[in-house]
């Protein structure tokens, strides 16, 4: 037990518990697997470095899910600032085949789930709505956790989620009618 320190064991548990959540959120925010790996790795490294200075009691008291997602959102926003001067990628670059005009909204959403088109629609939301929708419905966070991770009031978090969903439905309907083609 000389080499394996408590903080490393603690980290492995943190990682195993939240790796899917952190990676998925990073993937759906950035839209690219390579970026998602960079963002997730950076978030976990920062978490480790912070927790190394915490002492056992403070580590044990952490609500780790909201905590690691707060770190990820900081990493994500730093990343956004760093790429701000680059031209944005075409949001439809990774969209799949055009939808069949006879499809219902439901069918279109179902197809988008498998084609990656829903992921592309997500990237067309305003940043604060996209973050809230990803944390709530891809990550499964509570409104309280989202408010903490985004550093906003719960009412604001809730409103971002709900507006984001409405906008997604409108975007999906627009696609269904060929409105964006």
Binding site for other proteins (CB under 8 A): 2-5, 7-8, 11-12, 15, 19-24, 27-28, 33, 37, 40-41, 44-45, 48-49, 52, 105-106, 109-110, 112-113, 118-119, 122, 133, 137-140, 165, 168-169, 172
Cβ 106 to other proteins, closest distance in Å? 5
Nearer to other proteins, 1 or 84 (CB): 1
Token pair 């439809």 is found at 92
Cβ 152 to other proteins, closest distance in Å? 20
DSSP-derived letter for residue 104 is: -
Nearer to other proteins, 100 or 110 (CB): 110
Task: Read off the tokens for 161.
Answer: 């989620």
Q: How far is CA 30 from the centre of its chain?
A: 8
Nearer to other proteins, 6 or 153 (CB): 6
Cα distance between residue 165 and residue 134, in whole Å: 10
* Reduced DSSP (H G I as helix, E B as strand, rest coil) percent helix, strand, coil of the chain, to 5: 70, 0, 30
Q: Contact at 8 Å (CB) between 108 and 172?
A: yes
Cβ 48 to other proteins, closest distance in Å? 5
């Amino acid at each position: 037990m000389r080499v394996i320190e408590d903080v490393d064991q603690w980290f492995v548990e943190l990682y195993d518990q939240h790796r899917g959540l952190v990676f998925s959120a990073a993937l759906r925010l950035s839209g690219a697997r390579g970026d998602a790996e960079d963002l997730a790795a950076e978030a976990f490294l920062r978490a480790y470095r912070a927790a190394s200075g915490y002492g056992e009691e403070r580590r044990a008291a952490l609500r780790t899910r909201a905590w690691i997602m707060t770190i990820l959102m900081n990493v994500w926003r730093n990343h956004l600032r760093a790429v701000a001067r680059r031209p944005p990628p075409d949001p439809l670059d990774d969209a799949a085949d055009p939808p069949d005009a006879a499809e219902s909204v439901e069918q279109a959403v179902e197809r988008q789930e498998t084609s990656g088109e829903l992921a592309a629609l997500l990237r067309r939301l305003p940043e604060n709505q996209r973050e809230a929708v990803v944390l709530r419905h891809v990550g499964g966070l509570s409104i309280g956790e989202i408010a903490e991770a985004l550093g906003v009031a719960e009412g604001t978090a809730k409103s971002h989620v709900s507006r984001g969903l409405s906008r997604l439905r409108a975007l999906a309907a627009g696609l269904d009618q060929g409105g964006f083609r």
